[in-house]
Structure 1
């Protein structure tokens, strides 16, 4: 038995692609598109405020970032296993000048977070300060997950 080894010729490329430059250009293009959507965005589109969730044993703190929003605008609903925030936009004060960019609070905000545990509804506290809504939750005891062996 005879084994034949074939070597292919390698082609030399004079101008190899610069992946870093291409990614940077793509990122710039995406930023331009996203910026134009934000500036010309519809007021009917719900924005989602960014959140952080911290867990310490049976206590959970959910932080919603909502700069420029007044406490009276916020509607907070807590279900057995979810938390939901709605904010209606503030009344726009016309100055007679074109608006180039609007504040976050001029848009409708909505965020619903499904939780992997049930909430003790009579032990929920919420605070709003410096543009951050803090929601303190307590997990209901006995609602845990378990791994089940398959027979």
Structure 2
């Protein structure tokens, strides 16, 4: 007796069809994204395969970043579809940026189906050194001591 392994799944097509028919989500879909900090910038990358870059709309309103995109599929007259799993869709993602970013210098690019948004950290939020004044003198006395030459110096 010979047993042949098969990847045939008779319920796969039925499951796909049922999912398509019962899918009540008709509004915008969320796009998968990653967000990380690289030095003085945050970088957001989002998967948007099959999107025309001209359909991508990025807005900043206060501290709210909104990304919208549309995927349209051209209608082909006279063709008989064997399967059609890709569908036209709109995508939406909103993020609250917080107070530590520079909303004026946000930039974006789209390459190979991935949208990259670069969000710079504001100057106020960047790490910085704080000068420590020590000793028993006040800050004014320290400045005056530095500005006045020592007695006997010419």
TM-score (normalised: structure 1) = 0.59
Point out where structure 1 has 5 or more consecutive residues left out of the alignment: 1-31, 145-151
Moved more, 46-55 or 87-96: 87-96
1:81 equivalent among 44, 57, 63:
63
Which of 131, 134, 141 is matched with 2:113 structurally? 131
Q: Give the aligned partner of residue 36 of structure 2.
A: 54
Mapped partners of 2:25, 2:54: distance in 1: 19
Alignment partners' CA distance in 2, 1:79 and 1:134: 19
Change beyond 3 A, Cα 1:70–1:43: farther
Change (3 A) 1:101 1:116: farther
TM-score normalized by structure 2?
0.58
- Mapped to 2, the partners of 1:142 and 1:62 lie a distance apart of 21
Are the equivalent residues in 2 in contact too, given 1:117–1:139 (CA < 8 A)? no
RMSD: 3.0
Q: Which residue of 1 aligns with 2:122?
A: 140
* Separation of aligned partners in 2, 1:70 and 1:34: 26
Of 52, 77, 80, 1:97 maps to 80
Q: Which residue of 2 aligns with 1:26?
A: none
Structure 1 counterpart SS, 2:57: strand
Decide which structure has the larger Cα Rg and report it: 2
What's the counterpart of residue 65 of structure 1?
47
